[in-house]
Structure 1
């Protein structure tokens, strides 16, 4: 099975508007996936929470992170579809999928309704081709749950279903294609050692991103 290292692809504007619910959802999914897999290997889901303009070093760190992950979870919203960088993250991960010889490692979460989006309108959709790629994958629908209590049974069932889908896809990939160690992005990144916790990338300066563990 591939090492369960994922990438949380979303916009900071959605994180701010939801008052941190995207980070909470990522943390809960990470915990559920860990339960579905067991104590080992450790689940890591990278999350860039820095609301900063992309710069060359920052972009390289994100590119490196995506290049070392086994799955990606795009949080689909109108803002996501308008985002140039979110589109690039999907394109970058498609290259990673090709390396892993799998087309089942993108797990879109439909967080806010996008049925009204005109994909040929660049003001509404940055990349029509990226949207078509996303549409070709099986979306999981969170639209009716996003305003609920995230500790509710309904949200728990949603997370269980998604975690099982991720686990199943990671197991299907040939072990010869799996990463052999936990990601080491570069000298600016450090990873905590506590098991049974999730991982988030936090920015302290535009040129340094530190990976820390959430307790």
Structure 2
């Protein structure tokens, strides 16, 4: 999952990550599913760049929490490019799944590289997150589990 740390100041990304991981495991039955997120996967003393690069190289998909700050973040752009280049190098078609975390427009793309990335992401189906961002994660309506 690629996002800016600023988006997790109130723990929103952490809650999203936990909920999504649980729901994916329930829906797929894959109890060994690994959902990489830097805050939970990188520990004191780890060579964090290597951990991130290895995770990007082995990931089956990249979830992008798209926002103006993501688009301008050097780290996020680097993660995106490494994932995409790794897919091309391996000859695989690993999906990139953009989630519109905060509304992004062409005006948010200040540099040529950002315009290129935004154009590439705009060609993909983008999940609109804005309506659910501050939802109650314990709500049965949100999880689809109406028996809870």
Same fold (TM over 0.5): yes
2-side partners of 1:115 and 1:65: how far apart? 29
Give the counterpart of 1:150 among 129, 137, 142.
Answer: 137
1:84 maps to which residue?
A: 74
2:4 maps to which residue?
A: 11
Q: Which runs of 5+ in 1 are unaligned?
A: 1-7, 51-56, 158-215
Q: TM-score, structure 1 length as denominator? A: 0.57
Q: Decide whether aligned partners of structure 1 residues 71 and 153 sit closer, same or farther in structure 2, where only a CA change above 3 A counts.
A: same
Give the counterpart of 2:101 among 111, 115, 133.
Answer: 111
Q: Which structure has greater strand proportion?
A: 1
Does residue 73 of structure 1 match 2:66? no
2-side partners of 1:108 and 1:137: how far apart? 7
Q: Decide whether aligned partners of structure 1 residues 131 and 154 sit closer, same or farther in structure 2, where only a CA change above 3 A counts.
A: farther
Note the C-alpha offset of 1:31: 0.9
2-side partners of 1:84 and 1:126: how far apart? 10
Q: Which structure has greater helix proportion?
A: 2
Task: Report the RMSD for the aligned CA atoms in angstroms.
Answer: 2.2
Q: Would you say the 8 A contact 1:78–1:117 is kept in 2?
A: no
Q: Would you say the 8 A contact 1:12–1:49 is kept in 2?
A: no
SS at match of 2:63: strand
Note the C-alpha offset of 1:152: 2.8
Does residue 130 of structure 1 match 2:120? no
Q: Which has the higher contact order (CA 8 A, sep 6+)?
A: 1
1:21 maps to which residue?
A: 12
1:193 maps to which residue?
A: none
